[in-house]
Amino acid sequence: MRWIGVLLVLLLAAPAVAVDLTTPAPAHPRLFFDAAGVDSIRARCAVAGSTHARLLAGLRTWVQGSIYPDAIGTADKTNANLESIAALWVAEADSAAADTAVKVAMWTARRGLELASTNSGHAGLSTLALAYDWCYDRFTEAQRDTVAG
């Protein structure tokens, strides 16, 4: 949870837009921002020396030091970092992060638990929703059905 502030800065950096909350957006992503917001986030993070670039570098270092993609289902913190892993895909189109987010999301969806927890995993559900939305195009149709099911 240490990086939730960083995530919010990175992900909410897109310009504010009016949102119709009565009808879901037809395309992903749609939680916190849309495709135009992703472009804005990536542009801000690409500016060398900017606050967004420095925050992204810290997030990247933390995530890369915290995830264990070969030990999904046994490693501590993997699912607890799902939103951070997915955020790397959003912020810089890191395909390795997106692939890891999909693996962790599938583990979470199949078990209904948060990896770092022994309870029902409400936190796992919220991170699963973010990863599903932000990495939607990286999931196969069968994986989407599993998550949605």
Distances (CA, A) of 23 to 16, 19, 26, 140: 18, 9, 9, 25
What pLDDT was estimated at residue 119?
46
Please state, in angstroms and rounded to a whole number, the distance separating the CA atoms of residues 51 and 73: 35
Q: Are 147 and 128 in contact (CB under 8 A)?
A: yes
- Region of 77 (left: φ > 0; alpha: ψ -120 to 50; beta: rest) is left
What pLDDT was estimated at residue 117?
46
pLDDT tens readout for residues 76-97: 455 667 888 899 899 999 888 8
Confidence check: pLDDT of 147 > 60: yes
pTM: 0.74
- Name the pLDDT band for 9 (thresholds 50, 70, 90): low
Q: Which of 20-24, 28-32, 123-127, 131-135 has the highest mean pLDDT?
A: 131-135
Which residue blocks in the chain are alpha helix, DSSP H?
4-11, 35-45, 51-66, 82-92, 95-111, 122-134, 141-148
